[in-house]
Amino acid sequence: MEAARSADERRSGRASRPPRYSAFALLRHGLSGQPWPRVWHEQPLRPRYDVVIIGGGVHGLAAAYYLAANHGISNVAVLDKSYLGGGGSGRNTAILRSNYLTPEGVHFYDRSVQLYDNLSATLGYNVMFSKRGHLTLAHNDASLRTMRWRAEVNKLQGIDSDVIGPAEIKKLAPYLDTSAGVRYPILGALYHPPGGVVRHDAVNWGYARAAAHLGVHLHQNTEVTGIDVAGGRVLGVRTNRGAIATPVVVNCTAGWSTLIGDMAGVRLPIQTFPLQAAVTEPVKSFLHPVIVSGTLHVYVSQTDRGELVFGASVDPFTAYSTRGSLEFTEGLAGNVLQLMPALSKVRLLRQWAGLCDMTPDFSPVMGPTDVEGFYVDVGWGTYGFKAGPVSGEAMAECIASGRTPEIIAPFALSRFGAGHLVGEKGAAAVGH
Ligand SMILES: Cc1cc2nc3c(=O)[nH]c(=O)nc-3n(C[C@H](O)[C@H](O)[C@H](O)COP(=O)(O)OP(=O)(O)OC[C@H]3O[C@@H](n4cnc5c(N)ncnc54)[C@H](O)[C@@H]3O)c2cc1C
Are residues 259 and 390 located together in one domain of the fold?
yes
Confidence of residue 131 (pLDDT cuts 50, 70, 90): very high
pLDDT of residue 2: 39
What value does the mean pLDDT take over residues 240-247?
98
The verdict on 138 and 116 lying in the same domain is: no
pLDDT classification of 46: cutoffs 50, 70, 90: very high
Say what the pLDDT of residue 59 is.
Answer: 98
Q: How far is CA 298 from the centre of its chain?
A: 19
pLDDT of 377 reads 98
- Nearest residue (CA) to ligand 1, atom 44: 80
Same domain, yes or no, for 46 and 109? yes
**pLDDT value for 75:** 98
- Within-domain flag for 18: no
Between 1 and 92, where is the model more confident?
Answer: 92
Q: Ligand 1 atom 49: the closest Cα is on which residue? A: 87
pLDDT of residue 362: 97
CA of 197 to the centre of ligand 1 (A): 17
Of 329, 358, 387, the residue that ends a domain is 358
CB atoms within 10 A of CB 326: 8
pTM of the model: 0.95
Give me ligand 1 centre to Cα 355, in Å. 7
Number of domains in the chain: 2
Q: How many helices (H) and strands (E) does the chain have?
A: 13, 19
Identify which of 387, 395, 399 has the alpha carbon closest to the alpha carbon of residue 424: 387
Residue 67 has pLDDT above 80, yes or no: yes
Look at residue 16 in the predicted model and tell me its pLDDT: 54
Q: Which amino acid is at 140?
A: N
Per-residue pLDDT band for 311 (boundaries 50, 70, 90) equals: very high
Whether residues 117 and 254 fall in one domain: yes
Q: Between 215 and 8, name the one with better pLDDT.
A: 215
Report how far ligand 1's centroid is from the alpha carbon of 192 (Å).
25
Pocket of ligand 1 (CB under 6 A): 54-60, 79-82, 86-89, 91-95, 223-224, 252-256, 260, 275, 277, 311, 354, 356, 380, 382-386, 432
Question: Is 162 in the same domain as 256?
Answer: no
Q: What percentage of residues in the chain have a pLDDT greater than 90?
A: 89
| Burial state string for 1-32 with b = 16 or more CB within 10 A and e = fewer than 16 | beebbeeeebeeeebbbbeeeeeeeeeeeeee
Q: Determine, yes or no, domain membership for 213.
A: yes
- Mean pLDDT confidence for 337-363: 97
> Are residue 352 and residue 369 in the same domain, yes or no?
no
CATH of residue 211 = 3.50.50.60
49 and 165 belong to one structural domain: no
Query: Is the per-residue pLDDT at 4 higher than 50?
Result: no
Residue 325 and residue 208 share a domain = no
Q: Is 8 a member of any domain? A: no
Domain that holds residue 107: 41-98+100-125+200-269+361-428
With 70 as the cut, is the pLDDT of residue 383 above it?
yes
* pLDDT at position 70: 98
CA neighbours within 13 Å on the CB side: how many for 366? 33
Looking at ligand 1, which residue's alpha carbon is closest to its atom 39?
Answer: 81
Res 88 pLDDT > 60? yes
Cα–Cα distance, 260 to 388 (Å, whole number): 19
Average pLDDT, stretch 124-137? Answer: 96
pLDDT in tens, 147-164: 999 999 999 999 999 999
Average pLDDT of the residues of the chain: 94
Find the mean pLDDT for residues 321-341.
95
Would you say residue 22 lies in a domain?
no
Q: What is the whole-number distance in angstroms between the Cα of residue 389 and the centre of ligand 1?
A: 14
Domain endpoint, select from 336, 358, 380: 358
Asked if 257 and 270 count as a contact pair (C-beta separation under 8 A), the reply is yes
Question: Is 296 contained in some domain?
Answer: yes
Mutate to test the pocket of ligand 1, among 81, 112, 222 (most ligand atoms within 8 A of CB): 81
Q: Is the pLDDT of residue 382 over 80?
A: yes
Average pLDDT, integer, range 216-241: 98
* Confidence at residue 12, expressed as pLDDT on a 0 to 100 scale: 44
Rounded distance, CA 412 to CA 420, Å?
Answer: 10
What pLDDT is attached to residue 13?
46
Q: Is the pLDDT of residue 364 over 80?
A: yes
